[in-house]
Amino acid sequence: MVREPKRQIPNSSIVKLLLLFFFSCSNIFSQTTPTEGLHEHTPRVFYLKHATLILEPGKIIEDGELVIRDGLIESVGRVVNVPADAFEMDMTGKTIYAGFIEPFLEAETDAADSSQTILRNWNEKVHPEFSSLYGYSPEEKDLKELRSL
């Protein structure tokens, strides 16, 4: 009985098969799902220049500069030291007032139905199709109360 010699796979073929397997498997994990939610790429330092700054009644700085770091005012004046990592914004023609913003003020508005629009967001509380500017009509007594704060 005569046996045929075994065929050996050349080394180059093995390498090609391994490379093909490696690259085909690596593509399986390359797809990611989109992030649901807000992305955090906000600059942490802002440099506002050429603004009219009203620090308090009667104290006005024309063509002033303001540096905000992590949501807190770092420096204010006619000329300030500008940090190297600051995001620069030209505020020519803008006025900046010293004051507080009430972040938890609840305003009654005519809410829009987001299920009826193509602009629907993953977050049901976000309504890009609706502007509260047009739906808010405050009562005079509420405005007097807010102005007296």
**pLDDT, tens only, 88-126:** 999 999 999 887 666 666 766 665 555 556 666 677 777
Domain ranges of the chain: 45-97, 100-149
Asked if 71 and 35 touch (Cβ cutoff 8 Å), the reply is no
Return all residues near 57 (Cβ < 8 A) that are at least 6 apart. none
If DSSP codes are grouped into helix, strand and coil, which group holds residue 75?
strand
Helix (H), strand (E) at residue 23:
helix 11-26
State how far the Cα of 78 lies from the Cα of 64, in Å rounded to an integer: 4
pLDDT tens, residue by residue, 10-52: 667 778 888 787 777 666 666 666 677 777 777 789 999 999 9
Residue with tokens 């609706």: 130
Partners of 51 in beta bridges:
64
45-97 falls under which CATH superfamily?
Urease, subunit C, domain 1 (2.30.40.10)
